[in-house]
Structure 1
């Protein structure tokens, strides 16, 4: 059973950088007992250059077992990079909404 989840999805060009969707999904997964890396919670300012945001996001992602994607990931350059990299690194990649049961042992 996986334990640490990285959230991937669209941010650039969306209202509030899509932070409400990221934060809601992170809260839902944490309530199920998962540890979640949420790029919407990183220390960089929201308007930081894309390449710096991606470096920070990939650093977060590499600490995880699973990449869970949010709706709209297909049109996100960053999410596509994250999901492709995760696949090359042998990480499990799944739809975030497909995670519906709590972590074992809770």
Structure 2
């Protein structure tokens, strides 16, 4: 069975919401055989809270979480990281 991985990283305040980095990493992870849960494909225009209401359940169903560079500066990614650790998920950090 293929593993599911969630991508977390900074989005707010970054040009194009950092979507190119998310999409590029998603492609790499798919090539490695993962089912990728990518928040960058969500539609624009919702509030930060609405995105988090969607993303935390995505973290919940993932087997692993992948942290993009700069995640430590992101409120949302920090919450996702904390949630993943509290659920016992393995975490991969971008070098």
- Bucket of the pairwise TM-score, normalised by the shorter protein: over 0.9
TM-score by length of 2: 0.92
How far apart are residue 39 of structure 1 and its match?
A: 0.4
Distance 1:95 1:23 in 2: 16
1:46 offset after TM fit, Å?
A: 2.1
Q: Structure 1 residues 74, 81: CA separation in 2 closer, same or farther (over 3 Å shift)? A: same
TM-score by length of 1: 0.83
- Structure 1 unmatched ranges of 5 or more: 98-106
| Distance change >3 Å, CA 85–CA 72, structure 1 → 2 | same
1:64 to partner: Cα distance: 0.5
1:91 to 71, 86, 89: 89
Q: Distance in 1 between matches of 2:67 and 2:21?
A: 11
Which has more helix, going by share of residues? 2
* Structure 1 residue ranges, 4+ long, deviating more than 2 angstroms after superposition: none
Q: Which runs of 5+ in 2 are unaligned?
A: none
Equivalents in 2 of 1:88, 1:61: separation in Å? Answer: 11
Post-superposition offset of 1:2: 7.1
